[in-house]
Amino acid sequence: MKIYQNSSEPIYKQIAAQLREEILTGKLRGGDPLPSIRGLAQDLKISVITTMKAYEELSEEGLVTASKGKGYFVNAQDQRMLVEQHMRQVEKNLTDAIHSARIAGIGLEEVENTLEMLWEIDEE
């Protein structure tokens, strides 16, 4: 796991995003344990509170569940849940892109063309 101290994104968000990706791509599967909160905090040289905040965010999203005294475990993901999680991420990324485009004065047509071009490149 990589954490960027100079990122504008809070560390707990970086942790949650990386674990979320591992869950949604199937690298972490239902029943798999997450690293212990203390262990991850030590490995990353961060506060236990920061790690806990990341895990709580994943728990609120329904991706993981806390087991008292045992830690956090990945929830089994059904296909609808996976699609919904991916759609949320797509919406967030597109919202960020729209915001950036508006700041730069780039119009909808140019954004659509860029999206289409990137879509085609990714299919290759």
pLDDT tens per residue, range 30-87: 899 999 999 999 999 999 999 999 999 999 988 999 999 999 999 987 777 778 878 8
Q: Please tell me the distance from the alpha carbon of residue 74 to that of residue 105, in angstroms, as a whole number.
A: 42
Termini Cα distance of the chain: 29
At position 13, the amino acid (one-letter code) is: K
Name the residue ranges covered by the structural domains of the chain. 11-74, 79-123
For domain 11-74, the CATH architecture is Orthogonal Bundle (1.10)
pLDDT tens across 85-117, in order?
788 889 999 999 999 999 999 999 999 999 999
Q: How is 63-110 classified by DSSP, letter by letter?
A: SEEEETTTEEEEPP--HHHHHHHHHHHHHHHHHHHHHHHHHHT--HHH
Kindly report the number of other CB atoms within 10 A of residue 54's CB atom.
Answer: 25
0.85 cut: is pTM over it?
Answer: no
